[in-house]
Amino acid sequence: MHIIETPRGDVQRHGEGPVSVVLAHGSGIGMGHEFMQTMAATLVAKNFSVYLFEFAYMQQIQKTGIKRPPPPVARLELEYLQLLQTLNLQGPYVIGGKSLGSRVASLVVERTDALAWLALGYPFHPQKKPDRLRVEHLLASAKPGLVVQGTRDSLGSYDEVLGYSLPAHIDLQWLAHMDHSFKPYKASPYSLPQAIEQSAVWIEQWCQNRLKCSFIEVPSDES
């Protein structure tokens, strides 16, 4: 892992693959959380470069130990865009995140050079408020998206999401038995590590098939 110091906080770079994935965290977990670190390592094993970062409010939580809610999403959109400007990624890249981070990525992707966006558990609506949908901008989107969702996700279950009529360029992959955190119920034969591995497999296949990304690095001319 390599730490990139930026005016808006440290960014972790994992791996040196030809295709980059920028991931933002969920509302209550930072980039150091086991989920984020394991997902990054699993994607690196599939020859991705992965960039993890934290929004300013999460940086304050990490410094003070005092929990606080995220700021308005418009502020997070600005932070995500500013981070991408700072990183100035040169090769093909995808932006996304866990839950809140994926929502912000989906809101800003049309204003970036990213090929597409991805969600590791998209918050289609707030907890216990299924009538407050967060899909309007998805219906109007142009760039491809990938949503990896647990069938038992309380912020958008299998039965709920199938009724949203999302555009064909947003691909859905379902993790059987999993909740919003990709954790199964106790009697399930599946596990969180399996869910993370399967998510990485789907991301790799999506990048190859939908986005036409190549994971073969072309050596530079040495003349």
- Where do the structural domains in the chain lie, given as residue ranges? 2-209
What is the average per-residue pLDDT within 178-186? 95
Contact 149, 177 (CB under 8 A): no
Provide the pLDDT for residue 105.
Answer: 98
Mean pLDDT across 86-112: 97
Specify the pLDDT at position 216.
74
- pLDDT given at position 219: 56
Token pair for 109: 């992707």
Domain 2-209 has CATH 3.90.700.10: no
**Which of 210, 142, 150 lies closest to 178, judged by CA?**
150
Q: What are the φ and ψ backbone dihedral angles of 222, each rounded to 5 degrees?
A: -115, 90
Q: Is 165 exposed, middle or buried (0-12, 13-18, 19+ CB in 10 A)?
A: exposed
**Would you say residue 43 has pLDDT above 60?**
yes
Query: Among 97, 113, 111, 167, which Cα is nearest to 136's?
Result: 167
Kindly report, residue by residue over 114-124, the tens digit of the pLDDT: 999 999 999 99
According to DSSP, the β-strands at 48-53 and 9-14 are antiparallel
The predicted model gives 148-155 an average pLDDT of 98
For residue 223, pLDDT beyond 50: no
Render pLDDT for 211-221 as a digit per residue (tens, 0 to 9): 999 887 655 55
Residues 80, 81, 83, 84, Cα dihedral to 10°: 120
pLDDT value, residue 128: 95
pLDDT higher than 80, residue 222: no
C-alpha angle with apex 121: 9 to 133, nearest 5 degrees? 105
pLDDT digits (tens, 9 = 90+) for 120-149: 999 999 999 999 999 999 999 999 999 999
Residues 173 and 162 sit within 8 Å (Cβ to Cβ): no
- Give the pLDDT of residue 218: 55
Dihedral of the alpha carbons of 134, 31, 194, 116, in degrees to the nearest 10: 50
Closest CA to 201 of 48, 27, 26, 1: 48
The whole-chain average pLDDT of the chain stands at: 95
Q: Quote the pTM value.
A: 0.95
pLDDT of residue 217: 66
